[in-house]
Amino acid sequence: MLIEKLGTVLSSFSYFFQIPFALYLTSKVKNFWEKFFEDRQDKIILGLLFISGIISSLLSVKKLEAFLASLIPFVFVWFYVLGKHSIKLNIKSILYYILIGSSMLGFVLVFSKLLDLSWYIGSFAIFDGKVPRGLVMGVKAQGLALLLEFGILAGLGLLIIEKDKKSIFKILFLLIFCIIGFMIAETRGGILGLIFGFLTILFSEKSFREIKKRLGFVLIILLLLLVLFFTVFNQFSQRLSVALEKGRVGSIYERVYIYLGTLRMIKDHLLFGVGPGCFVYVYPEYALKDFPYIPEELKEELANAVTTHNIYLYFLSGWGIMGTFLFFWWLFRKIYKGMKYEYSFEKHLILAILMVYFGHIILDDLFSIHIPLLIGILNRKGIK
For the stretch 149-193, pLDDT in tens is: 999 999 999 988 888 889 989 999 999 999 989 988 878 889 899
Supply the pLDDT for residue 212.
65
**pLDDT band, very low/low/confident/very high, at 133 (cuts 50, 70, 90):** confident
Residue 246 has pLDDT above 60, yes or no: no
- Please report the pLDDT score of residue 314 as a whole number: 96
Residue 98's pLDDT is 98
Predicted local distance difference test score (pLDDT) of residue 303? 84
Q: Mark 141-173 as b/e (b = at least 16 C-beta within 10 Å).
A: bbbbbbbbbbbbbbbbbbbbbbeeeeeeebbee
Cross-strand partners of 247: none
Average of per-residue pLDDT across 63-68:
97
**Confidence at residue 262, expressed as pLDDT on a 0 to 100 scale:** 95
Contact predicate 136/108, CB 8 Å: yes
Q: What is the pLDDT of residues 269-293, one digit of tens each?
A: 999 999 999 999 999 999 887 777 6
Strand partners, 120: 125
What is the predicted pLDDT for the residue at 261?
A: 92
The model scores a pTM over 0.85: yes
pLDDT at position 255 over 90: no
pLDDT at 292: 72
91 neighbors 350 (Cβ within 8 angstroms): yes
d(CA 299, CA 290): 9
Nearest to 147 by CA among 108, 111, 173, 119: 108
Task: Assess whether pLDDT exceeds 80 at residue 211.
Answer: no
Instruction: Look at residue 224 and tell me whether its pLDDT is greater than 70.
Output: no
Mean pLDDT on 109-117: 92
Which pLDDT score, from 0 to 100, does residue 11 have? 98
